[in-house]
Structure 1
Amino acid sequence: MTTVLVTGGAGYIGSHACKMLAREGYTPVTYDSLVTGWQDAVKFGPFEKGDLCDRARLDEVFATYQPTAVMHFAALSQVGESMNHPARYWRNNVEGSLTLLQAAVGGGTQNIVFSSTCATYGDQDNVVLDEDCPQHPINAYGSSKRAIEDMLRDFEVAHGLRHVIFRYFNVAGCDPEAEVGEFHQPETHLIPLVLDAIAGKRDALTIFGTDYDTPDGTCIRDYVHVMDLVEAHIKGLKWLEQGKESRVFNLGTGTGFSVREVIEQAHAVTNREVPVIEGPRRPGDCTKLVSGSTRAEEELGWAPGRSKMRQMIEDAWRWHQSGHYEK
């Protein structure tokens, strides 16, 4: 069986990717430090604990498994934290990715699928965000991801390391069997925060900013179901296996939902009220991020068929009611 090294495979998206890889006949090897990941989420292949910045450990894992490709999800990803502690993001995300790419080249791996972000575009309101839009990130998280994209291009020129880069929007939902789900400590993502507030696991949901230039004053985001997202990663992997050129793809639906609209949908799904507190804006938050790209659909044959807000909330709610990982 073909082996794929999945960095961050114990995290929310990475664990779903491992499940999809196993279903498609690959052997996913999770490489994770468990700083933000959960060992209970590693269910679909071998687990190797290690830090991205540990070259010796990475060399050992590459030598043991000889993966033909890497899916690189491991990263710190909190926008607010990145504004207050940028050094953590440059060290973990950029230095860690550099060490990973060096180990991949040293281990003979030639293909990498990289989890980037729409945050590389920055705050470009009323602009159709496609892959050719200029990248002007306004927070250290987005800046670190853009730097890794540049690094990948340089490594291809120098070492032939080919890549598919996915810049995606907000991710939600869980797998149909609710085997793995979205759970962070601390939690910063809107849908799990809403569901925690509904379930009484937090006193209220704080809306950060109600004076944005949007119809209801709250930020607007494009949401993608996690299973649609990891399906795109499988297609990106096969794209590289077929010898096609390195490529960048946005992953979004083209439809945006404001914070208040997400709250309304969660109320409709659960038939429970969402306790809300209105707070000030957070530094680094963009007003509106919505994809206008069709490249993934046209070239990869990808269709975000599960990415309806009601379904994403229903799936996430089922996970929230089933129990969480514990450290």
Structure 2
Amino acid sequence: MTWLITGGAGFIGAHVVRAMVEDGRAVVVLDDLSTGDRERLPAEVPLVVGSTLDRPLLDRVLTDHGITGVLHIAAKKQVGESVEQPLRYYHENVEGLRVVLAAAADAGLRRFLLSSSAAVYGMPDVDTVTESTPCAPMSPYGETKLVGEWLVRAAGRAHGMGTVSLRYFNVAGAATPELGDPGIFNLVPMVFERLSAGKPPLVFGADYPTPDGTCVRDYIHVADIATAHVAAVRRLEADPDGTELVLNIGRGEGVSVREMLDVIGRVTGLDASGEIVARRPGDPARVVASAELIAKELGWTAEHDLEDMITSAWAGWQLRHP
């Protein structure tokens, strides 16, 4: 079997590609390289440079490479930017997905895996977020991911495709330094950037109803994200007709901002105590995944702890900012 991985040259995509190759699977990558880097890919993996919105290109790729399943990761993913540019996000994330699904359906493919996000939940008032927790996304980005899940489910039912949608929680770390996250949009690289500039990390609010007053999140190593995709691929290969799943990818452990800064300080040897500033609008106090369903359905559990995430992320940061 051969899998097409859209967005496979990006931060998460490249980890998934390598995990798939290490698991003995043939893959082809489609990426427009707007944020991806061809150097992230193993030399033996074919790269097609182009957009998910290009239907003729998709048709050629599916035919020429004998694609039997699609793993769709390509998407715009900056929450703040999505608020400023909702039309662009709906076009890229929803219409791009629709075009890929249409090409897959017309080619008779029976396996489709979507990379989704915990952003679909919004600000849930629960201790642990399960897949049945009501979804109320708070940004156009989160909306596009929820709509994408609906679209995948509907297309799967209509066209006989087995489908899996994976909802990532807070991704961190790197499998190797050269695969580290080049963006500065998440907590860990934001802290690294401040520390490297000799400035204290910013803590957005310390008066939340949590044990230490700072926000609590579920952090997951990107290498674990990759192995969860491989587990989903195995399920789709073994039983496409009986598969229609939406699953969280998390550790089921909450980590506060203060706790994260403590680990970062220990790993880097720098003062990461932080500076308290005003809350950011829309930040929920606590978002922690239940990882029970993915363990039951796919036999998958996370292997890396918080220190693994920070140590590997710091090595990648130092490689890019010597």
TM over 0.5: yes
**Residue 147 (structure 1) aligns with:** 147
Query: Contact between 1:118 and 1:167, CA under 8 Å: does it hold in 2?
Result: yes
- The residue type paired with residue 143 of structure 1 is E
**Residue 215 (structure 1) aligns with:** 211
**Residue 124 (structure 1) aligns with:** 124
- Note closer, same or farther for the CA distance 1:281–1:74 as it changes in structure 2 (3 Å cut): farther
Does 1:196 find its partner at 2:227?
no
Q: What do the CA deviations read for 1:190-233 (whole angstroms, capped 9, x no partner)?
A: 11222232333x85533334443333333221011111111111
Q: What do the CA deviations read for 1:293-319 (whole angstroms, capped 9, x no partner)?
A: 30111221112111x111110111122
| Percent identity of equivalent pairs | 38
SS at match of 1:218: coil
Q: What do the CA deviations read for 1:82-138 (whole angstroms, capped 9, x no partner)?
A: 222221211111111001101111223221111111111111123421111111111
Q: Distance between the aligned counterparts of 2:200 and 2:82, measured in 1?
A: 24
How far residue 168 of structure 1 moved from its aligned partner, in angstroms, is 1.8
Q: Kindly report the root-mean-square deviation, in angstroms, between the aligned alpha carbons of the 2 structures.
A: 1.9
Q: Distance between the aligned counterparts of 1:89 and 1:273, measured in 2?
A: 38
Q: Give the number of equivalent residue pairs.
A: 318
**Residue 282 (structure 1) aligns with:** 280
User: What are the equivalent positions in structure 2 for 1:4-43 lying under 5 Å apart?
Assistant: 4-43=3-42
- Note closer, same or farther for the CA distance 1:109–1:179 as it changes in structure 2 (3 Å cut): farther
Query: Contact between 2:267 and 2:311, CA under 8 Å: does it hold in 1?
Result: yes
**Residue 2 (structure 2) aligns with:** 3
User: What are the equivalent positions in structure 2 for 1:263-278 lying under 5 Å apart?
Assistant: 263-274=261-272, 276-278=274-276
Q: What do the CA deviations read for 1:178-201 (whole angstroms, capped 9, x no partner)?
A: 3412112xx21111222232333x
User: What are the equivalent positions in structure 2 for 1:240-259 lying under 5 Å apart?
Assistant: 240-243=236-239, 244-259=242-257
In structure 2, runs of 5+ residues without a counterpart are none
- Note closer, same or farther for the CA distance 1:281–1:92 as it changes in structure 2 (3 Å cut): farther
218-227 or 6-15, which deviates more: 218-227
**Residue 66 (structure 2) aligns with:** 66
Query: Contact between 2:128 and 2:287, CA under 8 Å: does it hold in 1?
Result: no
- Note closer, same or farther for the CA distance 1:204–1:94 as it changes in structure 2 (3 Å cut): farther
314-323 or 277-286, which deviates more: 277-286
Match of 1:227 among 220, 223, 227: 223
Q: Distance between the aligned counterparts of 2:5 and 2:130, measured in 1?
A: 27
Q: Distance between the aligned counterparts of 2:94 and 2:280, measured in 1?
A: 24
Q: Distance between the aligned counterparts of 1:204 and 1:276, measured in 2?
A: 5
Q: Distance between the aligned counterparts of 1:203 and 1:42, measured in 2?
A: 34
**Residue 317 (structure 1) aligns with:** 314
User: What are the equivalent positions in structure 2 for 1:36-185 lying under 5 Å apart?
Assistant: 36-43=35-42, 45-175=45-175, 177-184=176-183
Query: Contact between 1:139 and 1:284, CA under 8 Å: does it hold in 2?
Result: no
- Note closer, same or farther for the CA distance 1:285–1:245 as it changes in structure 2 (3 Å cut): same
SS at match of 2:113: strand
Q: Distance between the aligned counterparts of 1:293 and 1:16, measured in 2?
A: 21
Q: Distance between the aligned counterparts of 1:78 and 1:166, measured in 2?
A: 18
Query: Contact between 2:93 and 2:145, CA under 8 Å: does it hold in 1?
Result: yes
- Note closer, same or farther for the CA distance 1:287–1:192 as it changes in structure 2 (3 Å cut): same
- The residue type paired with residue 37 of structure 2 is W
- The residue type paired with residue 17 of structure 2 is C
Query: Contact between 2:206 and 2:212, CA under 8 Å: does it hold in 1?
Result: yes
Query: Contact between 1:169 and 1:222, CA under 8 Å: does it hold in 2?
Result: yes
Q: Distance between the aligned counterparts of 1:77 and 1:319, measured in 2?
A: 21
- Note closer, same or farther for the CA distance 1:25–1:261 as it changes in structure 2 (3 Å cut): same
Q: Distance between the aligned counterparts of 1:280 and 1:64, measured in 2?
A: 54
- The residue type paired with residue 36 of structure 2 is G
Q: Distance between the aligned counterparts of 1:53 and 1:27, measured in 2?
A: 23
Q: Distance between the aligned counterparts of 2:157 and 2:227, measured in 1?
A: 28
